[in-house]
């Protein structure tokens, strides 16, 4: 009884992370929450297979990712674009400084191949180690490393970080700290 209570409590603490990961996979808040819902149902059904003391976050991310790719295979990606635009509209926080930059970043992220995007998110945002990410994605650690590296290079290219001065590091850093470039 108490073990079950802990499972539920742990599950709830990880939901925000699951939603963020699901949003990055689907590009849509609505689809992300549907995916999280499916994940929670699946996780609940197989909670007896979870070994207490092991990484529950990684366990849940694995379930969510499997569910996502199963759904993708079933449905294809035909609704992706419409939903993606919807998500971008919803995502705006006009009062927040630098929101346009985040929009640009979001678009750049969506242009990445699925495997590179998920590797970048798992390592750069979800806080997993390369080893954990490799386990979640069922691939070699070296594969995760090269996907993350290619994802970073690609994003830099898309955002024009390499290249002319308009989008150089000065511009990027000023976007981050929310002030105009010194030049």
Partner 1 sequence: MSDREDEENKLHTGHAQKAQQPSELGVNVAIGKQLKAYYDDVASEPVPDRFLSLLDALDKAESSSKSKTRE
Q: Residues 66, 145, 156, 160: which binds partner 1 (CB under 8 A)?
A: 156
Neighbours of 53 (CB within 10 A): 6
Q: Residues 70, 75, 100, 169: which binds partner 1 (CB under 8 A)?
A: 169
| Region from 57-65, 66-74, 132-140, 163-171 binding partner 1, contact rule CB under 8 A | 163-171
Q: How far is the CB of 15 from partner 1 (least distance, A)?
A: 5
What residues between 6 and 25 interact with partner 1 by CB under 8 A? 8, 11-12, 15-17, 19-20, 23-24
Determine if 69 is a binding residue for partner 1 (CB under 8 A).
Answer: no
d(CA 77, CA 153): 25
Contact 97, 104 (CB under 8 A): no
d(CA 122, CA 128): 6
What residues between 79 and 108 interact with partner 1 by CB under 8 A? 91, 93, 101-102, 105-106
Neighbours of 15 (CB within 10 A): 13
**Residue burial 88-110, b: 16+ Cβ < 10 Å; e: rest:** eeeeeeeeeeeeebeeeebebbb
Q: Which residue has the tokens 């080893």?
A: 131
Which residues sit at the interface with partner 1, rule CB under 8 A? 4, 8, 11-12, 15-17, 19-20, 23-24, 29, 32-33, 36-37, 40-41, 44, 91, 93, 101-102, 105-106, 109, 120-121, 124-126, 152, 155-156, 161-162, 168-170, 172-173, 176-177
């Amino acid at each position: 009884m108490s073990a079950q209570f802990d499972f539920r409590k742990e599950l709830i603490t990880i939901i925000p992370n699951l939603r963020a990961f699901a949003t990055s996979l689907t590009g849509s808040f609505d689809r992300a929450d549907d995916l999280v819902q499916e994940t929670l149902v699946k996780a609940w059904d197989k909670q007896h297979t979870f070994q207490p003391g092991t990484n529950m976050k990684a366990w849940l991310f694995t379930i969510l990712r499997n569910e996502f790719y199963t759904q993708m295979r079933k449905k294809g990606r035909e609704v992706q674009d419409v939903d993606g635009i919807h998500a971008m509209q919803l995502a705006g926080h006009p009062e927040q400084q630098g929101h346009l930059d985040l929009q640009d970043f979001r678009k750049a992220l969506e242009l990445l191949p699925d495997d590179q995007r998920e590797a970048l998110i798992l390592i750069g945002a979800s806080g997993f180690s390369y080893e954990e990410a490799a386990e979640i994605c069922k691939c070699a650690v070296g594969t995760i490393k090269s996907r993350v590296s290619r994802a970073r290079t690609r994003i830099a290219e898309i955002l024009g970080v390499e290249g002319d001065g308009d989008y150089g590091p000065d511009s990027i850093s000023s976007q981050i700290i929310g002030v105009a470039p010194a030049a």
